[in-house]
Chain A
Amino acid sequence: MNEQPLHHLDTLRARQPRFRGLESGHRACQGCGEALAARLTTEAAGPDVVVANATGCLEVFTTPWPQSAWRLPWIHSVFGNTAAVAAGMEAALKQQGRATQVLAFAGDGGTFDIGFQALSGMMERGHDVLFVCFDNEAYMNTGVQRSGSTPHAAMTTTSPPGELRMGKRHMKKDILSIIAAHHIPYAATASVAYPSDLRKKVRRAMDTEGASFLQIHSPCPLGWGHEGAKTIEVARLAVQTGLFPVIEMERGELIGTLPIREPRPVSDYLKLQNRFRHLFASEYRARKELEHLQAIANRNIERFELRGIGSEAYDTEGADTVHRGGDRWA
């Protein structure tokens, strides 16, 4: 083992040409998509922000006292009140005449379910807050229970498959439509598989005055049952199959999508994850649910007109092209 001398790494770390909002040493699982999403979000948001964070994995793995992985002012209050805490911070900063921007972070549970009311109120009142939902499609921190965001047919500890069930009976809540109904200036979805797009959306949301919302699809290797190394691949496939549409809305109107160049069959995505394993049994109900999920993807593609028209620089294949020297487009 040829370890690098430490002092060298310390100075190197301090000199990284990007803002390190989320520092090393946090305790997320190996390959955690949520940790990556939070890292990308905070480095795009920059240091002049304050963050309110809901209870959940992100909160727990970043701040086991006396340590904190954050390098920005950050507060965790409880599970369901994040949008309200953020609203309070925003009101305070506004009164103080400070330009510091306010972010709210929550998991899908803290967004779709328990935190929804506060979120709705915050948006309705038009606080200048960017609410970021790290969507890992279940209550991960408490051990993978289903949430309003868990996709149809997925296995969780509270939606187990069995003789009578094929995983979650209900659909994934269409949160963005609900958000859109609040008529806020900017709402979007993003994925850790498309970091440039994600960062661009964070900046765009921060530049927007008023409430904005960003839902980031963030695979959870533990809860979804895939290798930590495949987090990005899984996230990419969610987008490329149409199961997770990447879209942008202004005032509730669709203004942009990440077009899918060549839609992949949903099974390409599902088969990488243990939470969908029961859908690959050779039985009628498994085949039926697989087709059901394919139909959901098809409907997403239709509804948001996700089907691309040939090769484009900004589509599911082109949006994350790399170049020598690392000059990503955002």
Chain B
Amino acid sequence: MALALEGSQALARTVALCRPQVVAAYPITPQTHIVEGIAKLVADGQLACEMVSVESEHSAASVALGAAAAGSRAYTASASQGILLMAEVLFDISGLRIPLVMTCANRALSGPLNIWNDQQDSMSMRDSGWIQLYCATNQEAVDTTVQAFRIAERCELPVMVCVDGFTLTHTLEPLELPSAEQVDAFLPAYTFRHGLDPSDPRSLGTLVGPEHFSEVRHAHHQAMMSAQTAIEQADADWADVVGRHCGGLVESRGDPEARLGILTLGSVLGTLEDAMDSDPELPRARFIKLRSFRPFPADALRKACEGLDHLIVLERALSPGAGGIVGPEVQTAVIEMAEPPRVHNYAAGLGGRDLSLDLYSRIVQAAVGAERPREFAIIDADPELLPESDR
């Protein structure tokens, strides 16, 4: 049954369907509506769960960590500064191999203060050892959230479900919510093999010296790499239940014959698709939706890029002083191909800047026909607004 729901409300109800026993969160725009929604469900007795309204995101992540370690399914959500404040704990959660799910309602980072959407926050956690799945639509956000719990618990790794702030979280879209039976059929009860248990009292979070540290990291890396299978499997299994899938690791859309590819993460895809569809004169493009940024699905990506001459990587974050964040990784992956596409890397839509329909033609024009890949650029920046020295 299709419902018209705000993204955040849909996510709140989806999380509830996954029966978390402990939810810990701290308010921050644009994540707030999600946890408010969960709090209400708890308050109304519709979800048996300890809702811990902590005093900081550092504690939100920590409460979730403690709860998961003590044998309960746990969930948290945050954005932007909250993600940064959690950073210390996020690394620890993944290093301890604790299964957790959190939603990152993507938002720009201070300073200067900006509460609107981009993906600098989750990108800054790129190396935290968390699985990161990006959602293009609220439907995907709903479905990915259910899948995320199964992936996390199978792989003993935490999963961050990245949902664009406002663009998705605050937008009413018709979508399907799974039924409780569907979720229960898909998601077994929470287990954590090496949790805290007085009858088998393990010590978690030990001090690991140089003689063993590389191996610990190696194991973590391997687990992340293997998680690719689990991600694809979860998507496929979920499709069996609900008849929808989210595109596994990487999804190709648009014109399969096109020699031009555009790679995106998150909801910007819809804007670009609309733009291409709105004007048949425009060059056709193959859209490559990178759903799993971590683990980075290099093989799947190369397959998706076969036959491309140009590949535009359009990001909503950057690494100042270097350029894109995703772009160089994609470049590294495709360079292994027999006929690799030329990779062009742009950022756009930072801090909530509207992605206008002409963005499509601007990036395509900039890329196609260029002798050499153009330098990285924030393509929708207006130099007029800057003093000469900063242009």
Contact = CB atoms under 8 A, between A and B. Distances in A.
Interface of A: 47-50, 52-53, 59-60, 62-66, 68, 70-78, 80-81, 83-96, 100, 117-118, 120-121, 124-125
B144 interface: no
Contacts, number: 168
Given A78-B62, A91-B52, 12 more contacts: A50-B196, A64-B209, A66-B212, A73-B200, A75-B203, A81-B59, A84-B59, A85-B62, A87-B54, A95-B49, A118-B58, A125-B53
B198 A92 contact: no
Interface string B68-93: 11111010000000000000110010
Contacts of B52: 87-88, 91, 125
Contact of A52 (B50, B66, B88): B66
B202 interface: yes
B62 A81 contact: yes
For the complex of A and B, the 10 pairs showing the least CB-CB separation, nearest first, are: A88-B66, A121-B55, A84-B62, A76-B205, A92-B72, A88-B63, A84-B59, A91-B50, A68-B203, A81-B62
A60 B208 CA distance: 10
B111 interface: no
Contacts of B205: 53, 59, 63, 75-77
A77 B92 contact: yes
A71 B88 CA distance: 27
B206 A92 contact: no
A95 B48 contact: yes
A155 B179 CA distance: 64
Nearest to B196: A73
Interface of B: 21-22, 24, 48-50, 52-56, 58-72, 74, 88-89, 92, 96, 196-198, 200-209, 212
A80 B71 CA distance: 22
A65 B198 contact: no
Contacts of B203: 62-63, 68, 70, 73-76
Contacts of A95: 21-22, 48-50, 72
A48 B197 CA distance: 9
Nearest to A49: B198
Contacts of A94: 50
23 contacts: A60-B207, A63-B207, A64-B206, A65-B209, A74-B196, A74-B201, A75-B96, A76-B203, A76-B204, A76-B206, A77-B65, A80-B88, A81-B88, A85-B66, A88-B65, A91-B67, A92-B22, A92-B66, A92-B68, A92-B72, A95-B48, A117-B59, A121-B59
